[in-house]
Homo-oligomer: A and B are copies of this chain.
Amino acid sequence: MPKDTIHQTQKVTPSAPEIAVKSSQFSRRPTITPPKPRRDISTPSIALGEIPNLQILNEKGEVSDPAHEPKLESAEHLKIYRAMILARKLDTRMLTMQRQGEMGTFAPGMGQEATQVGQIYPLLQKDWFSPSYRSFGAQLWRGWTIEGLMLLWNGYADGFNIPDGVNDLPFSIVIGSQVATATGVAMGLKRQKDNAVVVTNFGDGAISQGIIGESFNFAAVDKAPIVFVCENNGYAISMPVQKQTGADFLAGRSLGYGIPSMRVDGNDILAMIVAMNGAVDRARRGEGPTFLEAVTYRMSLHTTADDPKVYRKDEEVEYWKTRCPIARYEKYLINKDLLSIEAIEKIATECEQEVLAGRERFRELAKANPRVVFDYMYQTLPAELQEQKQEYLNKLDRKETDQ
């Protein structure tokens, strides 16, 4: 997909359900100030309101919530569809490459394509994205290259070069860590008044990390322009989300911090787009952070080092295959006459070609340069590190002589 068109997405109407109102009991700012009691506790209880659930397309690809069905142009639909196919093709190819010894351990995203593409769909180029490691789909849309992603997952530092014009942070392997950085970026953008927003994602396991709660709090207090997306894909490695939390769902996690939230069917691309659109708009209007729990499923392995048979049943995976985000969207597009069997095949072939072309570039670029490992440590390398670098380069020289 040509990079310059990526960020010119269509304005989405109608808008998302009004989440700020529905959970307003939590996000209402204090009204009672001293000398009255800071917290009025004379009422017998505080009603907490409700969290909206959003699903627009059901698993059969039928519109289950017509009121929120976005009015997107056909070309836009196809762009979105294509992005999901490209994500899946890359995923599949990388798995093959890994099995053939041409790729390091990586985290497949199969099944999460709607969550991925939906969460960055409303972003402009100037906006920021701070993803976790399972974010190919979104990163491709944002302008990261196929070869770059292949490089970095195969242990080449060059994969971490951020493409020109892309504002995003490199994905983070440290669970939850990217959320604090993202919150800081949002606080920084707000202070620089350039009206940009930040999206960050993390998993159903990650939400157990204290730093995510701390980040919620900082974002809420600062009214920072950020959207937190929890991709609840059912598992943190082997740990089912039911054992990860004592609550029934994760969307409630932000409410106690004063951040409104919504639960979204993460395998429904339309719901993801509508929900994200509302949340991004809120952030851009200066109304502060929003939290979305996207309910999806990790159809593949945790990473290529993982064996899910140890901890989950095949029938569960089979069930979720029937909820595949791509199949669902495909049915919708076919029903709307936006897609034909031929078009599906054409797009599949094109995307496969694009991935293979990326692999070619990856193969050309895949030359590790051990000589640069000191180069980005500091703006100017301190004397003691210059010495260590020399020692290291001598070692490399010696090895080359030896070989």
- A43 — nearest CB in chain B belongs to which residue? B53
Q: Which of A206-214, A299-307, A378-386 contacts B (4 or more CB under 8 A)?
A: A206-214
Whether A319 sits at the interface, judged by CB under 8 Å, is: yes
Q: Given the complex, which residues of B lie within 8 Å of A9, measured CB to CB?
A: none
CA distance A321 to B55 in the complex (A): 52
Determine if B263 and A246 form an interchain contact, defined as CB atoms under 8 angstroms apart.
Answer: no
Determine if A316 and B50 form an interchain contact, defined as CB atoms under 8 angstroms apart.
Answer: no
* A105-128 interface code vs B (CB 8 A; 1 in, 0 out): 000000000000000000000000
CB distance from A263 to the nearest CB of B (A): 5
Whether A377 sits at the interface, judged by CB under 8 Å, is: no
Determine if A41 and B221 form an interchain contact, defined as CB atoms under 8 angstroms apart.
Answer: no
CA distance A210 to B259 in the complex (A): 16
Q: Among B247, B254, B295, which residue has its beta carbon within 8 angstroms of that of A220? A: B247
Task: Check A42/B55 contact, CB under 8 A, given A213-B210, A253-B257, A258-B245.
Answer: yes
In terms of DSSP, what is the predominant structure of the interface of chain A? mixed
Q: Among B223, B257, B263, which residue has its beta carbon within 8 angstroms of that of A46? A: B263
Q: Which of A215-274 contact B (CB under 8 A)?
A: 217, 219-221, 223, 232, 234, 240-259, 263-265
Whether A2 sits at the interface, judged by CB under 8 Å, is: no
- A251 — nearest CB in chain B belongs to which residue? B46
Determine if A44 and B35 form an interchain contact, defined as CB atoms under 8 angstroms apart.
Answer: no
Determine if A35 and B214 form an interchain contact, defined as CB atoms under 8 angstroms apart.
Answer: no
Q: Which of A22-30, A96-104, A195-203, A360-368 contacts B (4 or more CB under 8 A)?
A: A22-30
Question: Other than the known A23-B48, A34-B316, A210-B211, what 5 A-B pairs have Cβ atoms closer than 8 Å?
Answer: A38-B234, A42-B55, A47-B50, A221-B243, A246-B288
Q: Which of A20-68 contact B (CB under 8 A)?
A: 22-23, 25-30, 33-39, 41-55, 58, 64-65
- A24 — nearest CB in chain B belongs to which residue? B248
In the assembled complex, 16 residue pairs joining A and B whose CB atoms fall closer than 8 Å, in A order, are A26-B248, A29-B246, A35-B316, A38-B242, A41-B264, A42-B64, A48-B51, A48-B255, A208-B217, A210-B211, A210-B213, A221-B243, A223-B246, A245-B257, A247-B256, A253-B257
Whether A318 sits at the interface, judged by CB under 8 Å, is: yes
CB distance from A32 to the nearest CB of B (A): 9
Whether A371 sits at the interface, judged by CB under 8 Å, is: no
Q: How large is the interface on A (under 10, 10 to 19, 20 to 34, 35 or more residues)?
A: 35 or more
Determine if A295 and B37 form an interchain contact, defined as CB atoms under 8 angstroms apart.
Answer: yes
Determine if B263 and A258 form an interchain contact, defined as CB atoms under 8 angstroms apart.
Answer: no
Q: Among B51, B208, B253, B316, which residue has its beta carbon within 8 angstroms of that of A45? A: B51
- A268 — nearest CB in chain B belongs to which residue? B41
- A219 — nearest CB in chain B belongs to which residue? B246
Q: Given the complex, which residues of B lie within 8 Å of A191, measured CB to CB?
A: none
CA distance A36 to B316 in the complex (A): 8
Determine if A248 and B25 form an interchain contact, defined as CB atoms under 8 angstroms apart.
Answer: yes
Q: Among B50, B251, B258, which residue has its beta carbon within 8 angstroms of that of A248? A: B258
CA distance A33 to B242 in the complex (A): 9
Q: Given the complex, which residues of B lie within 8 Å of A45, measured CB to CB?
A: 22, 50-53
Determine if B221 and A244 form an interchain contact, defined as CB atoms under 8 angstroms apart.
Answer: yes
Whether A336 sits at the interface, judged by CB under 8 Å, is: no
Whether A315 sits at the interface, judged by CB under 8 Å, is: yes
Whether A190 sits at the interface, judged by CB under 8 Å, is: no
CA distance A11 to B111 in the complex (A): 55
Determine if B41 and A265 form an interchain contact, defined as CB atoms under 8 angstroms apart.
Answer: yes
The residue among A45, A65, A247, A312 with the most chain B CB atoms within 10 A of its own CB is A247
Whether A309 sits at the interface, judged by CB under 8 Å, is: no
